[in-house]
Amino acid sequence: MSARLKTYLDDNKIHYTMMSHSPAYTAQSAAATLHVPGKELAKTVVVSTADQPALAVLPASFHVNLKKLGELLGKPARLASEQEFISLFPDCELGAMPPFGQLYKLPVYVDRALEADEEIVFNAGTHRDAVRMKYADFKRLASPRVADFAAKG
């Protein structure tokens, strides 16, 4: 688990469960390995606009609708390349960043579909570690903008 994430959760007295699994490099494979429904595994996607990256958090079984997200952001959005975001998350394995943008000075957008889950599971900075916590605690800590920007499939 990322030390930055652990400190943040512990300092805020958040109840969470650590989950370890065999290495998984996609959200859907992590969900399968953890035996968690894809709708409960929150994947973190880095998107970029002309002037700033942001985190889009959505169920593993969904994909980002960039047109809808761009409308929400007020400017065109695209998926950021790994080269663009590798330096933003120095304490995380590439592509395994947690959904807490404030740890990395990034805004967070959460798809409304995650609000249906009492608990969510997400990467904890590695491709082998995940955290399970109450969605309400995540929302309180992350202070995301919640909107509809993802599509199933």
- Give all domains of the chain, ordered by start, each with its CATH number: 3-152 (3.90.960.10)
pLDDT of residue 71: 94
Model confidence pLDDT, tens digit, residues 8-32: 999 999 999 999 887 777 777 777 7
pLDDT of residue 43: 94
pLDDT of residue 29: 79
What is the layout of strands, in order, in the sheet containing 145-147? Answer: 78-79, 42-48, 53-59, 108-111, 145-147
Judged against a pLDDT cut of 80, whether residue 153 lies above it is answered with no
What is the model's pTM?
0.93
pLDDT of residue 34: 79
Per cent of the chain over pLDDT 90 is 73
Strands (E), 2-149: 16-20, 42-48, 53-59, 62-64, 78-79, 108-111, 119-123, 129-134, 145-147
The pLDDT confidence band at residue 149, using thresholds 50, 70 and 90, is: very high
Model confidence pLDDT, tens digit, residues 28-83: 777 778 778 778 889 999 999 888 899 999 999 999 999 999 999 999 999 999 88
